[in-house]
A and B are shown apart, each in its own frame.
Chain A
Amino acid sequence: MPSIPLDAILFLVLAAIAVGSAINLVVQTHPINSALSLVGVMISLAVLYLLLGGEFIAAVQVIVYAGAIMVLFVFVIMLLNAGAERPRTRLSFSVAAGVPVLLAFLSAAAYFILKKVPPAEGVTFGGFTGGSPRAVGEALFTRYLLPFEVTSILILIAIIGAIVLAMKEID
């Protein structure tokens, strides 16, 4: 009796959740629904990262992305009291031209992936353990030290920029 293909089943379930949530994100007209759908995508992706051996990234995905960034989104939605989009009155160029081009893009991407990536290789849980916090930390503080430090400046600039932009003008 063959063993149960647990990896494939897990992948399919998570991929279904991710794609379903993403479709929901695009379809919903109210931003808060889209935001919650995005949280769904991110959490399912976090589990996928775990399957791929990215323990640290999976944790950061949940904490930073699904946590901090999405909270910021929800906060802004709330702050601006953003409502549902008004129904569109006319077909815009981006929709008319976008949808067919989008399908072409997807088929081109699929064509390249199926042509270039050999189907024989597979992913099994535990097949790669180089994504542990220890391994990532070692890489960050040795080979990637300079970019890592530069990101701190980037974040500082972003903080200042956000404050300047959002600050009420003092008359």
Chain B
Amino acid sequence: MHQLWLIPAFPLLGFLINGIFGKKFSKRAVSLFAVGSVLLSFLWVVKTLMAISPLETLYTEHYFTWIASGAALNIGFDLSVDRLTSVMLLVVTGIGSLIHIYATGYMAHEPGPNHGGYYRFFSYLNLFMFFMLILVLAANYLLLFVGWEGVGLCSYLLIGFYFVKKSATNAGIKAFVVNRIGDFGFSLAIFLIFIQFGSLDFQKVFAQAGGLADEVQAGVITATCLLLMVGAAGKSAQVPLYVWLPDAMEGPTPVSALIHAATMVTAGVYMVARSAPLFNHAPIAMEVVAVIGLLTAVMAATIGMTQNDIKKVYAYSTVSQLGYMFLACGVGAYSAGIYHVMTHAFFKALLFLGAGSVIHALQGEQDLRNMGGLRSKIPVTFLTLLCASLAIAGFPYTSGFMSKDEILVAAHHHSPAMFWIGVITASMTAFYVWRALFLCFFGRYRGSAHPHESPLVITLPLGVLALLSILGGFFRVPVWLEPVLGKAPEGHDPALVIISVAAGLIGIFLAWLFYVAKPGLPDTFARALKGLYTLVYNKYFVDEAYDAVIIRPVVDGSRTVLWKGFDVGVVDGIVNGVGSVSRGVGGILRTLQGGSIRNYAALTLLGAVLVLAAVAFTGGAQ
């Protein structure tokens, strides 16, 4: 036994301590428990992974039987690790630790009682870590689902952290409701898996997956995989369920970095990669995954080009990059997808944390139009963001270059068309990220605040992440994952690499041209392509379409039929009916309880007489 349970137990303990007693602690103590628990967890991950290596097969620890019903249903509280898990564990706890440290600086100046809910923030963050680690460590689908729902809950709590802001609570509810749709699909998939395989344990399910008849593979497995993809689309913000993620930026920036960029949103990719043995038998489902991924990547990238809120830009970038990961999974390059999960966690966490640093420096300003020229005022932030932007644009030998390259090569192997669309998207990615960078740091300062560099607790995690963004690609994840997920398609064509690098550089150049060299050019373009620009700027009116097609009918139907009709008419009618019948009966019985002692005595006497009469008629006590 390697005591895997300790990995999630540390953050859980941190959550309990801060959640229960945090109100009485000083900020220093809260930070100590919160950061300490995650760091301990990280250290324990490193220790266990070194102890268990080489991890080529699933190592499982069984703790207790969680649910046992009948002969078939037997679900244990089992945790397991293999190489796939190890990557996720290191990313979650490592980046989680950095972001926790960062957050102690970022949240230090919250106004309001209890330092603006400082302890609440960190207890939620610890709780999130706990559920995320359960999700990653789970050895069966149901336990994975527990973590899945748990991180959803924490996401909801943290998006709505500033609960006095209506937009924040609305965004939290939106995230929660949209995730319900995905989770509905996921739970159906779990039922299907159980019906088909009689178990939910990964090992048992995957062992049986290969030996099934063709028609089963075509039918049940495909359906299962499509439903799993519905779940993944909800959690990982894919078309058509991506709408919640941009709104989720209402949460504090460390939350955006940790939950909505680095870890939780990649849970869908992890789940698909984990279910690779199933997906491998469902080519149709894989095609769907790839198409959804590609569609999401393109759509989010176009929207990202027009946004003015720095966090919104990065949010659409996240959606787009998640699309890349699904593209990788869909074309069978799961290891490339996980590779990108890791590198994306590095540079996207850095982008968000850097954005947070900028926002922190500008006292809450998020609009790119009110920034500019910050290069000299906050140089550390600028340098780190520069690293991240290079990485995401695919500059050679940065981490983003390595993983994106793997994905594009695999896509080309599957279908050249996908490769070209991916390259165009990469170009757009470079464009909007550098657009944000130029608008923020170059030109003339257009705001009114007095920027100041952030303290060391903020810049230190930025520095570490910047290093990882540049050099993180040299952790050769695909090679490490080969025993688990199989070999990625070969065929390193230098021409493909050059094309993708060139696409990135073109994107950077265009951004420079539009926003540094010729600042008037964007407006000209926007005017010339007014219709298209309005469409993209308003995010293709997807929110409005959902509102008109789904939300409005549901709300109206609920209001007229369910509320006015059923609830008021039937439910209230029954309830009120019960009430008035009770009152009527009570009114009759009430006269007996008038409080008059003599009436009580008379009734007691009546009772005595009746007893005597009964005794007399039954013959008495002989």
Contacts and interface: CB of A to CB of B under 8 A. Distances in A.
**A contacts B: CB pair < 8 Å:** yes
Interface of A: 92-94, 97-98, 101-102, 104-105, 108-109, 111-112, 115-116
A94 B601 CA distance: 8
B605 interface: yes
A164 B601 CA distance: 28
Contact of A101 (B602, B616, B620): B602
Given A112-B616, A115-B620, A105 B608 contact: yes
A15 B601 CA distance: 27
B606 interface: yes
B318 to A, nearest CB: 74
A101 B606 contact: yes
Contact of B620 (A92, A104, A116): A116
B591 to A, nearest CB: 9
Interface string B23-48: 00000000000000000000000000
B616 A111 contact: yes
A20 B7 CA distance: 94
Contacts of A109: 612
Contacts of A115: 620
The 7 A-B pairs with the shortest beta carbon distances in the complex, nearest first, are A94-B598, A94-B602, A108-B612, A98-B602, A105-B609, A104-B609, A97-B602
Nearest to B594: A93
Contact of A112 (B596, B602, B605, B620): B620
Interface residues of B, number: 13
Nearest to A96: B602
A57 B377 CA distance: 110
A111 B601 CA distance: 23
B545 interface: no
Contacts of B558: none
Q: Chain B binding site: helix, strand, loop or mixed by DSSP?
A: helix
Contacts of B602: 93-94, 97-98, 101
A102 B605 contact: yes
B20 to A, nearest CB: 46
Most buried by A among B599, B601, B602, B612: B602
Interface string B68-84: 00000000000000000
B613 interface: yes
A116 B612 CA distance: 14
Nearest to A98: B602
Interface in B184-231: none
Nearest to A103: B609
A98 B613 CA distance: 16
Given A98-B602, A102-B605, A108 B613 contact: yes
B595 to A, nearest CB: 13
A25 to B, nearest CB: 16
Nearest to B622: A116
A12 B335 CA distance: 116
B616 A94 contact: no
